[in-house]
Structure 1
Amino acid sequence: MTADARSADTVPTQPTSATAPPARGIRTPARGWLIAAMLCVLMTINFADKSVLGLAAEPLMRDLGLTASQFGLAGSIFFLLFGVTGVVVGFLGNRFTSTRLLLVIALAWSVSMMPLLLFPSLAGLLVNRLLLGAAEGPTAPLASHAVQKWFSDSRRAVPASLVNLGAGLGIAIAAPVLTYLITNFGWQSAIWCMAVVSLVWAAGWKLVGREGPLDTYDSAADLPGDHTPAAEVRVPYRRLFAASSWWAPILVLAPGYFSFAVFSVWGPSYFVSGLGYSPGTVGWLIAVYGLVMAFGHIFFSWLSGVLVRRGVGTRWARGVYMGVVVCLCGELLVVAVAMGTGPWAAGLLLVSFGFAGTVHTIGFLLVAESSPVGQRSAMLSSFNSVVTAFAVIAPFVAGVLVDTAATPTDGYRTAFLWCGILLIVGGLAGAVFIRPDRDTRRLGLRGTDSD
């Protein structure tokens, strides 16, 4: 790509030759896979922390004397600072190593458990969830940014999905283990468990955490048709945020995260009071939900990566693909609500809610595809913060629906139905508007059409 073909707003950070060949055949050091595995464990702890509130819902509400609306408020307040800290730490990630920031985050998780343990009350619960949400907000985008420094663009799908595999594993492992602790030793034991596990991970990360070598856009470029500038470029943020690869995936993923927030807080209660399962059985059902998520993260990302390596443009292999997956999940959820009760309805709920958020990895890959590496942390974190923003109101709104419906079961189903409708609309919109091929050309990151 010639210099005058580039936008005037795209500035190389250093003088260099006009072009550079894509870095094909990049070999990933074994440490890259170790980093991916450690970040998978981090995300496992992350989602175990998120799920503990829903698993402990019945004893917590009873012991603290909470109404459904108050408990829903506790679920919502988790996301109040989630996006704010995500953006702030994301911009810090442009200046400081992700290795150091992730260590601080893990330590903060452990500290955030203390208010609830020391002051078991509605106030203690609200402070706990507020601090935990603030600490966890930057985690997923920072972990994605960190692992992408070890893998070339066409080979990122599987290791990036391995990181997000922790979301499903966290729920699958936490559901039976934490349910056992809650049932036999009280909900405080589950909170202590999560505080200790966070400290153990931080110690391990201190020993093995390292920054990856692919710290410029062209050093990781190997998509079909790539012909990238050899210098790292810097693009005004207003142009990066205007790219469809940043805002259009939000249309797809925000409904998925809204649905996750509703189900993580209220799903276990619905299975007990609405479908008649025992708490012990519900623990295993939520574990199945987690395994569905884990499978979806790996399978959908793997298939997207296969399509990219076979020459399918990322508009189709990432954009349209993720929109179709989310739309189908919404349709399954609507069918599950219409079925009412029975094992088939329960199974469809687990599958539709489980798969709805498993294309989050592909959304991160789309944002990374249209972001210079020096600005990628901020772009990923801002993206994730907007995706998760509506989760602030999701559990509270669902709690109000439960309190005001003719029966709690009717309230749960109404909330789930709206989740399904949002998934359908968001999936269709994303499939139409996502255009990474056009974005990378306009931003001066690629000189050819990769579609």
Structure 2
Amino acid sequence: MASQPSAPPTGLPAAETAAPPPYDRVRAWLVTAMIVTFMVVNFADKAVLGLAAVPIMDELHISHGTYGLISSSFFLLFSLAGLVVGFVSSRVSSRTLLFVMTLTWAVAQLPVLVVAAVPTLVAGRVLLGAAEGPAASMSMHALYKWFPPHRRGLPSALQISGAALGTLVSAPVLTWLITAHGWRSAYVALAVVSATWALVWWHVGHDGPFDDARPARAARRRDVPDVPDVPTSPDVPDAPKAAARVPYRRLLLTGTVLGSVSSAFGASWALSLSQAWLPSYLRTERDMTPGAAASTISAIAAFSLVLLLTVSPLMDVLKARGVTSRWSSGATQGIAVCVAGCAMAAFPFTDAPLVQHLLIGLAFGTGAVAVPLHYMTAAEVVPAAQRGALFGIVAATGTLPGLVAPALTGHLIDAADTTASGYTYAFLISAAVMLLTGLLAVACIRPERDAARLAPYV
């Protein structure tokens, strides 16, 4: 009698015993290049309003307070959209999600081209914010589908650095368009670039083979019956356990998670202030030409890019030498936000150009360190099954300054005796927020301690 094919081990679905999918190096790095370009376009879209702030305010005769509200409107649906699309991503392909998002970016640039007015500016920014809220997480999700876990380090770093690269590239290009052809030309260019990226992505951006949800979907298509759970009992010593889950209230009140949110909050405050008001401040208060202001912003972005590309390897080295996560990734992100806060408090009172530029770079560039590290520290105390949901909550909380900082700054400028003093008040408040959140991060982030405290619930 012919021998029968061997069955998979008892208790494991057939999909889990199959050979790992092949790694297509060329296609994976093509998708990586597309994702980095996606992030570049993403941050160019964010930056265009700030780069065009002076001509827009002059042409439409709007106050600093009104402009601040327009800038803050970008974040009205930003966090909510990120949470909603995160849940949708388990049912819709990354190819489709990113395609729809970038087409929406293109559409969001159009209202102000039809009628240049405050309502159309707000409508465009709200729509753009809703479409860009899921961008970072969903592009990383799409990227991971093309790389096995042990090959994801460099692609992840490149995806994160796309944010700084977007500002580095877009600041001089968009400033040239605004100066040479009017601020509307920048909106037209971004609409064309977004639509072009979407069309190219539709042809090359198929989901990769390393998709955790794919085996389950494939099994359902083949009508493969689910393997029943093996009951846990003393008679079955190797019975698998259900995935550990910790109450979200306890997770969110853990010092490490609170500290991670705190550092993200401080870093996001500086980032939103930079995108909304730094170009205008450099031009009107520091008497820079549009080109010089763009070069300064690009230099800050380059500084952030260097930090982002070096911080993860440095953390790996520190941990390999026995440094705990509290002092490597935890203290590092808190100290970075504190350094940025100190620089924020100092540069409005500095007249020496070289020192002033250095302090501005530290104030608006150093906080980038907290962006990858606050996810790393939060991940160390959260069960894998709950990591995605908690990351969504952490990201939503960390981006709240985008709703507050630009509008508050505009209000302070309008209420002050002079524009310069209004900016100074805004920067001092920002410094206080950043110092407080940075110190909280240093004091609260203790992954080893909190993981041990949560162990009874796992």
The residue matched to 1:357 in structure 2 has which SS? helix
Q: Distance in 1 between the 2:144 and 2:261 partners?
A: 20
Task: Please identify the structure whose Cα radius of gyration is greater.
Answer: 2
**Counterpart for residue 435 of structure 1:** 446
**Counterpart for residue 50 of structure 1:** 46
- Alpha-carbon offset, residue 131 of structure 1: 0.7
Give the aligned residue type for 1:384: A
**Counterpart for residue 355 of structure 1:** 366
Greater shift in the superposed pair: 66-75 or 198-207: 198-207
**Counterpart for residue 419 of structure 2:** 408
Q: Is contact 1:154–1:305 with CA below 8 Å preserved after alignment?
A: no
**Counterpart for residue 314 of structure 2:** 303
Length, aligned pairs only: 415
Pick from 160, 165, 168: which aligns with 1:172? 168
Pick from 209, 233, 238: which aligns with 2:243? 233
- Alpha-carbon offset, residue 186 of structure 1: 1.0
CA change 1:446–1:214 in 2 (3 A) is farther
CA change 1:209–1:344 in 2 (3 A) is farther
Cα distance per residue 1:348-402 (max 9 Å; x no partner): 1123211213320122233344445554433222211110112101111101111
Give the aligned residue type for 1:172: L
Q: Distance in 2 between the 1:327 and 1:65 partners?
A: 37
Give the aligned residue type for 2:168: A
**Counterpart for residue 387 of structure 1:** 398
**Counterpart for residue 17 of structure 2:** none
- Alpha-carbon offset, residue 94 of structure 1: 4.3
Q: Are 2:119 and 1:123 aligned?
A: yes
**Counterpart for residue 207 of structure 2:** 210
**Counterpart for residue 11 of structure 1:** none
Greater shift in the superposed pair: 117-126 or 375-384: 375-384
Cα distance per residue 1:415-438 (max 9 Å; x no partner): 122222222221121122123334
Cα distance per residue 1:275-314 (max 9 Å; x no partner): 1111221121111122122112112233223334555433
CA change 1:208–1:86 in 2 (3 A) is closer
**Counterpart for residue 220 of structure 1:** none
Give the aligned residue type for 1:233: A
5+ unaligned residues in a row in structure 1: which ranges? 1-13, 17-26, 217-228
More RCO (CA 8 Å, sep 6+): 1
Q: Distance in 1 between the 2:394 and 2:323 partners?
A: 25
The residue matched to 1:359 in structure 2 has which SS? helix
Q: Is contact 2:272–2:401 with CA below 8 Å preserved after alignment?
A: no
CA change 1:74–1:289 in 2 (3 A) is same
Q: Is contact 1:157–1:304 with CA below 8 Å preserved after alignment?
A: no
Q: Distance in 2 between the 1:266 and 1:101 partners?
A: 31
**Counterpart for residue 194 of structure 1:** 190
TM-score (norm 2): 0.81
**Counterpart for residue 19 of structure 1:** none
- The equivalences for 1:280-299 within 5 A come to 280-299=291-310
**Counterpart for residue 105 of structure 1:** 101
- Alpha-carbon offset, residue 147 of structure 1: 4.0
Q: Is contact 1:148–1:156 with CA below 8 Å preserved after alignment?
A: yes
Give the aligned residue type for 2:359: L
- Alpha-carbon offset, residue 254 of structure 1: 0.5
Q: Is contact 2:336–2:369 with CA below 8 Å preserved after alignment?
A: no
Give the aligned residue type for 2:326: R
- The equivalences for 1:244-283 within 5 A come to 244-283=255-294
The residue matched to 2:369 in structure 1 has which SS? coil
Greater shift in the superposed pair: 154-163 or 53-62: 154-163
Give the aligned residue type for 2:157: S
- The equivalences for 1:15-54 within 5 A come to 30=25, 31-54=27-50
CA change 1:146–1:233 in 2 (3 A) is farther
Cα distance per residue 1:153-204 (max 9 Å; x no partner): 7875543332121111111111110011111111111011111111222233
Give the aligned residue type for 1:413: T
5+ unaligned residues in a row in structure 2: which ranges? 1-9, 13-21, 214-238
**Counterpart for residue 77 of structure 2:** 81
- The equivalences for 1:421-432 within 5 A come to 421-432=432-443
Q: Is contact 1:253–1:357 with CA below 8 Å preserved after alignment?
A: no
CA change 1:370–1:162 in 2 (3 A) is farther
Q: Distance in 2 between the 1:241 and 1:117 partners?
A: 43
**Counterpart for residue 22 of structure 1:** none
Give the aligned residue type for 2:278: G
Give the aligned residue type for 2:80: V
Greater shift in the superposed pair: 73-82 or 335-344: 335-344
CA change 1:157–1:439 in 2 (3 A) is farther
**Counterpart for residue 428 of structure 2:** 417
- Alpha-carbon offset, residue 444 of structure 1: 5.9
Greater shift in the superposed pair: 434-443 or 410-419: 434-443
Q: Distance in 2 between the 1:409 and 1:130 partners?
A: 29
The residue matched to 2:400 in structure 1 has which SS? helix
Q: Distance in 2 between the 1:231 and 1:28 partners?
A: 31
Give the aligned residue type for 1:213: F
The residue matched to 1:276 in structure 2 has which SS? coil
Give the aligned residue type for 2:417: A
CA change 1:291–1:132 in 2 (3 A) is same
Greater shift in the superposed pair: 272-281 or 93-102: 93-102
Pick from 372, 389, 411: which aligns with 1:378? 389
Q: Is contact 1:248–1:433 with CA below 8 Å preserved after alignment?
A: yes
Greater shift in the superposed pair: 241-250 or 143-152: 143-152
**Counterpart for residue 342 of structure 2:** 331
Q: Distance in 1 between the 2:457 and 2:192 partners?
A: 46
The residue matched to 1:233 in structure 2 has which SS? coil
CA change 1:366–1:93 in 2 (3 A) is farther
Q: Distance in 2 between the 1:152 and 1:74 partners?
A: 42
- Alpha-carbon offset, residue 442 of structure 1: 5.5
Query: RMSD over aligned Cα, in angstroms?
Result: 3.2
Q: Are 2:78 and 1:67 aligned?
A: no
- Alpha-carbon offset, residue 45 of structure 1: 1.0
